[in-house]
Chains A and B, each alone.
Chain A
């Protein structure tokens, strides 16, 4: 990975974290905010494959862990790494140029990532997450992520085209 690509990717993750904590609290959908960090990880994994998906997922997860207080440190790393790796593994099976497949992935990864994080937070941490809250949050985040996916994917694609790196395609 070139230095330019590395910095751009890092900047994308940091920007997503700042926007998620500073902007989206005022723009909730059904009382929930989108998971921009997860979307950025998804966009990276779709372009670069499972290895990059896992690494940047771990970094985004660590950032999430450090910005929350109740859930144990490492929980975000666990979930985001899993999502990044999983999406990267699914990439070879997606039809090239497909519009619906990335959107479907955004919905599914949003639901699984949110539900996984909430369930583990409830099991490992002190969070008292009810099943109703888990279901509501998973669906709302999945829906919100799907709506924002074209914008985030578009921005990441443009940035990556401007700062090309060595292909990490894994077939």
Chain B
């Protein structure tokens, strides 16, 4: 009886401690004591998780291999579809390159076609069933900053949400808290894309009558002052769901990245390939969206370009204010 009372008291005290911790976390906000504590644990756990991950990865691969053998038929089908999509992606890339070349010539801007990246190894995933984050083995010492995009050979992986000197945590793009600006590669339809805790992701086109078909490829876009460089592959449309309302439509997207096999990733240190920097001397020039995103004279030396020549017929580029916001968001 005495032990029962003791257990009950202990239980009450621990629940009280839990509520105090929740309150401290809420009041602390970003970079509060809770975040600092988490950073400390990441620093301590990183080498342990790194060592264990190296040791147990063959077992994980074995399990994954067995699962693959069981589902060989489905995998074959998926790979065939992937080949088809890659063929389509190659053709859309050629078109994008041509368009990019034209726009650069038109604006007399030096194109930023290379992304400066840092290679990182995945050390661990979050233990929660409701959080899709990974810990990577690079941090502030390697030039990593919060909100930097993370990609791999297949496409968009996520963005950095916590940085310590030697490790960082990355919010994966399938996490329900993840959101990014996106557009279809074929038609340029834009809309935010959100994670749903696994496959598929969901994109909501801004135009409910947008021309989007199953198999269309989605890439990141720089509209809405997004933090991601434009043009990073996200996934392919697997289903277009008509909702009850005529004002919205849900597009389900299968990501290119296999999030169960994230081994090495790239953290993008530089800005986007198609980001247009803030313009100077734009007084008196009208900006029209969405068809005409930017009208500008980029340089005094190139001032003889008239207004019509400098219009970009690309619906996803934000105006200068949005680009300035994007830069401010990244802290640049």
A78–B60 contact, CB under 8 A? no
Complex-state Cα separation, A55 to B9, whole angstroms: 12
Residues of A within 8 Å of B, CB-based: how many?
61
Known: A21-B126, A26-B260, A71-B131. A170 touches B41 (CB 8 A): no
Complex-state Cα separation, A58 to B133, whole angstroms: 23
A170–B131 contact, CB under 8 A? no
B11–A50 contact, CB under 8 A? yes
Q: Quick one: which of B41, B127, B261 contacts A20, CB cutoff 8 A? A: B127
B159-177 CB contact bits vs A (8 Å, 1 = yes)?
0011000000101000111
B129–A73 contact, CB under 8 A? no
When distances are taken between beta carbons in the complex, the residues of chain A under 8 Å from B123 are: 22
When distances are taken between beta carbons in the complex, the residues of chain A under 8 Å from B135 are: 21
When distances are taken between beta carbons in the complex, the residues of chain B under 8 Å from A129 are: 130, 176, 197
Indicate whether A162 reaches chain B with its CB closer than 8 angstroms: no
Complex-state Cα separation, A168 to B3, whole angstroms: 8
> Which B residue sits closest to A64, measured CB to CB?
B127
Interface residues of chain A: helix, strand, loop or mixed (majority): helix
B196–A51 contact, CB under 8 A? no
Indicate whether B45 reaches chain A with its CB closer than 8 angstroms: yes
Indicate whether A41 reaches chain B with its CB closer than 8 angstroms: no
> Which B residue sits closest to A113, measured CB to CB?
B129
A158-169 CB contact bits vs B (8 Å, 1 = yes)?
000000000010
Indicate whether A112 reaches chain B with its CB closer than 8 angstroms: no
Stretch from B22-30, B183-191, B318-326 at the A interface = B22-30
A77–B18 contact, CB under 8 A? yes
Known: A69-B161, A117-B130, A126-B177. A78 touches B19 (CB 8 A): yes
Indicate whether B115 reaches chain A with its CB closer than 8 angstroms: no
> Which B residue sits closest to A144, measured CB to CB?
B129
Distance in angstroms from A145 CB to nearest chain B CB is 11
Indicate whether B17 reaches chain A with its CB closer than 8 angstroms: yes
B29-47 CB contact bits vs A (8 Å, 1 = yes)?
0000010011001000100
Indicate whether A102 reaches chain B with its CB closer than 8 angstroms: no
A124–B22 contact, CB under 8 A? yes
Complex-state Cα separation, A80 to B197, whole angstroms: 22
A51-76 CB contact bits vs B (8 Å, 1 = yes)?
10011011001111111111111110
Distance in angstroms from B37 CB to nearest chain A CB is 6
Stretch from A4-12, A28-36, A93-101, A146-154 at the B interface = A28-36
When distances are taken between beta carbons in the complex, the residues of chain B under 8 Å from A72 are: 21-22, 25-26, 34
Q: Quick one: which of A18, A50, A51, A69 contacts B131, CB cutoff 8 A? A: A69
A81–B18 contact, CB under 8 A? yes
B10–A127 contact, CB under 8 A? no
B3–A19 contact, CB under 8 A? no
Complex-state Cα separation, A50 to B10, whole angstroms: 9
Interface residues of chain B: helix, strand, loop or mixed (majority): helix
Complex-state Cα separation, A168 to B41, whole angstroms: 31
> Which B residue sits closest to A58, measured CB to CB?
B14
B56–A19 contact, CB under 8 A? yes
Complex-state Cα separation, A118 to B197, whole angstroms: 12
When distances are taken between beta carbons in the complex, the residues of chain A under 8 Å from B57 are: 26
> Which A residue sits closest to B175, measured CB to CB?
A70
Complex-state Cα separation, A81 to B26, whole angstroms: 20
Indicate whether B53 reaches chain A with its CB closer than 8 angstroms: yes
Indicate whether B49 reaches chain A with its CB closer than 8 angstroms: yes
Known: A69-B162, A74-B20. A55 touches B126 (CB 8 A): no
When distances are taken between beta carbons in the complex, the residues of chain B under 8 Å from A26 are: 57, 60-61, 63-64, 260-261
Complex-state Cα separation, A36 to B20, whole angstroms: 26
Known: A21-B49, A26-B60. A73 touches B25 (CB 8 A): yes
B176–A133 contact, CB under 8 A? yes
Indicate whether B273 reaches chain A with its CB closer than 8 angstroms: no
Complex-state Cα separation, A102 to B260, whole angstroms: 30
Distance in angstroms from A148 CB to nearest chain B CB is 13
A31–B125 contact, CB under 8 A? no
Indicate whether B198 reaches chain A with its CB closer than 8 angstroms: yes
Residues of B near any A CB (own CB < 8 A): 3-4, 6-7, 10-11, 14-15, 17-26, 34, 37-38, 41, 45, 48-49, 52-53, 56-57, 59-61, 63-64, 123-131, 133, 135, 161-162, 169, 171, 175-177, 194, 196-199, 260-261
**17 A-B contacts (beta carbon < 8 Å):** A19-B52, A21-B124, A21-B127, A27-B63, A28-B260, A51-B3, A54-B7, A54-B14, A66-B37, A68-B133, A72-B22, A72-B26, A74-B18, A74-B25, A78-B18, A130-B176, A170-B4
Sorted nearest first, the 10 A-B pairs with minimum C-beta distance are: A26-B60, A74-B21, A74-B22, A21-B124, A77-B18, A78-B18, A51-B7, A73-B25, A25-B125, A128-B176
